[in-house]
Chain A
Amino acid sequence: MTLTEAPAGYRVRDRVAETRDTVTLTLEPVSAALPGPQPGQFTMLYAFGVGEVPISVSGPAGLPVLTHTIRSVGAVTRALCDAAPGHLVGVRGPFGTTWDEADAAGQDLLLVAGGIGLAPLRPALLAALAARDSYRQVTVLIGARSPSELLYTLELDRWRTAGARVEVTVDKGDAAWRGDVGVVTQLIRRAEIVPDETIALICGPEIMMRLTAQALQAAGMTADRIRVSLERNMQCGVAECGHCQLGPLLLCRDGPVVSYRVAETLLAAREL
């Protein structure tokens, strides 16, 4: 892969509106498929004539068909969110490091998601549930701003049925909400973590990830058992342009999934 490699053509096969500003696109290759992405990786999605953005893979691993959950936050993501079935988009990748959730085989796997951070964790969860007997407890703790901003609401019970413990909390409920209200870190206390037999994967806003990691450390987990997904201004995807530098890391290559042992000091730095 080089900086000049052209995006591969993919066509939108399916579009699901998850929330008022977030959609999940299923993309199929127009010709040869790119290598199937692994949980944690991202691709560069190109809205022709608008621009290119890094988007984490949110569907099953290793397939030629790609699944991306995209939040409309700017011109490019808005164009992608508006893409209807049949629409053509460009794809480069997949890029970056992986969750390596299988490292938790024989142990407990804990996934902690904040907001849109559930999307990059979903492939790891699906992979773990596909090999459910390989793990002891599989727990998913989800935090969202409000019930209407929760992702994959139709899947939560399916994940429970498949053997995951799924807990959801929102910052602010509504009249119909009967679930938990509070920050996601408050769910950790109830998660009955076995510190030296758990691998934790965290994805969400950086402050949320830092606070979650701190809560896990307070529960006895060491930093090398915690992984976070970091995001910067990924552009080239091949560690050449330097836009995604975070301290010694080029996150398009050395991330997005990084051990908290490495990320801990980087997340606390004021400017990097």
Chain B
Amino acid sequence: MTRPELAEFATHPFVRGLAAGYVEQLADRADQVEIAAGQRIFGELGEARGLWLIRSGRVALDLQVPGRQRVVVETLGPGDELGLSWLAPVPRWQFGATAELAVDAWALSSAAVLGLCDADHELGYQLTRRLLTTAIARLHAARIRILDLYALPESTP
């Protein structure tokens, strides 16, 4: 269990700009973790109870599709957050996560984050906005991919 260095922790996009006291409360509850390339971080349908603030490396979110190999639906990298499903009423991972490259991250338990939010609704509001921003960005990205923008145009010379 290694606590993050506060000044460095404060540079992650998820916490950047939060009041110093809030950053400190989150840092106090975070662990600096190293995840080896190829290591499974969590599997789909498992209980969702963690939030990782990725500093370096790459994480693949995947899904086991019957009749097909493991399908990677998205990758996350430095500055991204891994783990949003604990926000849902039934906190289960909707996708699995594997470190494609060695990952450095700060890990927080969802219980700790929710505990902070319950104790201080202003912090709860700030974090909810940030998590919602991430969720919206991923929703937008998913919609863009549905458009299949790089497919052949219907009629060209």
- A77: nearest residue on chain B (CB-CB)? B157
Kindly provide the distance from the CB of B137 to the nearest chain A CB, expressed in whole angstroms: 8
Interface check B75, CB cutoff 8 A:
yes
B8 contacts A by Cβ under 8 Å: no
Chain B residue with minimal CB distance to A169? B75
- Residue of B13, B73, B153, B157 near A189 (CB, 8 A) is B13
Interface residues of A, CB < 8 Å — how many?
A: 37
Answer yes or no: A74 CB below 8 A from chain B CBs: yes
B119 within 8 A of A: no
Contact B60 A185 (CB under 8 A): no
Which of B75, B137, B140, B150 touches A181 (beta carbons < 8 Å)? B75
Chain B nearest CB from A110 CB (Å) reads: 16
> CB-CB < 8 A to A171: which residues of B?
145, 148, 150
Min CB gap B35→A, angstroms: 16
* Interface membership of B1, Cβ < 8 A: no
B46 interface contact, C-beta 8 A? no
Which B residue's beta carbon lies closest to that of A145? Answer: B150
User: Quick check: is A205 within 8 A (CB to CB) of the other chain?
Assistant: yes
The residues of B that contact A242 with a CB separation of less than 8 Å are none
A189 lies within 8 A of B148 (CB):
no
In the bound complex, how far is the Cα of B61 from the Cα of A180, in angstroms?
Answer: 11
- State the main secondary structure of chain A at its contact with B: mixed
* Alpha-carbon separation in the docked complex, A76 to B13 (Å): 48
Closest chain-B Cβ to A196's Cβ sits at a distance in Å of 18
The stretch that binds A, out of B22-30, B76-84, B110-118, is B76-84
Is B150 a contact partner of A77 (Cβ separation < 8 A)?
A: no
Find out whether the CB atom of B145 lies under 8 angstroms from the CB atom of A177. Answer: no
A189-B80, A190-B77, A190-B78 known; A73 vs B153 contact (CB < 8 Å): yes
Interface readout for B62-76 with A: 1 if CB under 8 Å, 0 if not? 000000010011110
Considering only residues 118-157 of chain B, those with a C-beta below 8 Å from chain A are 137, 140-141, 144-145, 147-153, 155-157
List chain B residues, Cβ under 8 A from A190. 77-80
Closest to A47 in B: B157
In chain A, positions 194-237 with a C-beta closer than 8 Å to chain B are: 204-205, 207-208, 211
B74: chain A residues within 8 A (beta carbon): 181-182
B44 interfacial contact with A, CB 8 Å: no
Is A75 a contact of B100 with CB atoms below 8 Å? no
The answer for the CA separation of A179 and B144 in the assembled complex, in Å, is 19
Among A53, A77, A185, contact of B141 (Cβ-Cβ < 8 Å): A185
Apart from the given pairs A143-B150, A183-B145, A190-B78, 8 other A-B contacts in the complex at a CB distance below 8 Å: A73-B153, A77-B157, A145-B148, A171-B150, A172-B145, A180-B75, A189-B80, A205-B150
Q: Which residues on A are within 8 Å of B, measured CB to CB? A: 21, 51, 53, 71, 73-77, 114-116, 143-145, 149, 169, 171-173, 175, 177-183, 185-186, 189-190, 204-205, 207-208, 211
